[in-house]
Amino acid sequence: MHKLDMHKKVGLLAAMMALGFLGARGAEWWSSPRAPAAASPGRLEVSPKVLDLGTLDEADPKPLEGRIRVKNAGDKPLFVHGVNSSCGCTVVDFKPQSIGANESLEILARVEPKNEAGIQGSVVTLLTSDRSNPSFDVKVRWFERPLLSTDQKLLDFGILRPGQSRAIVLRLAVSPNVLFSKPSATSGDGGAITFNWGERVPGESDADPDNYDLEITCKPLVDDFGEHTREVFITSEDTRLNLRIPARWVLSPPVEAIPRAIFLPNIRAGSRVVNSIILSALDKERPSVVSVALDGVPMPFEVHDVDDSYSGPRKSDHLVSYP
């Protein structure tokens, strides 16, 4: 054997031994139990989940405040990118910042009056680096007691006939220690709605609101048939005390016709079809049929009295037939 071939064999054996040594070391490094474990990310914890701020009284327009506690329960820093509010009535004072592991901070939430009676609410949203909970909502609620309020949301006078009137008594609540002087009410309807103020009814205690009864009467002055809507506006010498309430009524004609629409298929030229309409009185007086017209053109007609033996949809006064 030549010396050159011997040297090649020795070099090849050394290379194989070196590769085997590196492979064994590499396997030992990947399977080593001493490999460093990755630290868990920052974890968000928020309390309370519902922030109840109590009662906001417009007579004492001091904002309501509450605090939201934000904690990082993880092993790495938690970054709070921002805090948003669902409405302009809720103000949050906060700047983006980082929270260390097992540390916490408080976020101040402040509510301004919305001038709306009853239970109010908004949502404060926290945006964080917590990958499992990047967005967290805190519900904020409070009760707003306005200076002037009522439980009635709509003045519904129902169906009225010409000359008929209907009254609704509206109970108004005025905040304690507020003077409700020179109250007035308007509707801008040309006189169909009139108002009659009652006496003041004091609250049972100094903390309870005073009550006023306002009788509102609707009597349409013109025969403008159909549905009508208006807005009743209540105010006083103190311009802070104001209230708007929608009102509606339907002015119905003194008779009702059945059917309201007639469909006549397959009419041939020169044919004669007789149609009938049943008229029903909505008051005690029997209606009288003066004329029947089609698109403004008078038509001949016949009127027949309908007695109790009529088997139609309701008791009626007249059966009107026309070609």
Answer yes or no: CATH 2.60.40.10 is held by domain 44-145.
yes
Task: Give the pLDDT of residue 261.
Answer: 61
User: Given this model, what pLDDT does residue 23 score?
Assistant: 47
Domains 44-145 and 148-251 share a fold: yes
> What is the per-residue pLDDT across 119-161, written as a single tens digit (0 to 9) for each?
889 999 999 999 888 999 999 999 887 888 888 989 999 988 8
Measured distance CA(149)–CA(68) in Å, rounded: 31
CATH superfamily of the domain spanning 148-251: Immunoglobulins (2.60.40.10)
188-198 residue pLDDT tens: 777 789 999 99
Distance CA(128)–CA(123), nearest Å, equals 16
Distance CA 153, CA 116 (A): 12
Q: Where are the domains of the chain?
A: 44-145, 148-251, 255-322
Cα separation, 308 vs 289, in Å, equals: 20
**Residue 24, SS3 per DSSP:** helix
pLDDT cut 70: percent of the chain above it = 67
Q: In this predicted structure, what is the pLDDT of residue 291? A: 65
Full DSSP string of 93-121: E---EEE-TT-EEEEEEEE---S--EEEE
Mean pLDDT, range 211-227, rounded to an integer:
87
The beta strand positions in 89-222, using DSSP E, are 90-93, 97-99, 104-111, 118-128, 135-145, 148-149, 155-160, 166-174, 184-186, 193-201, 210-218
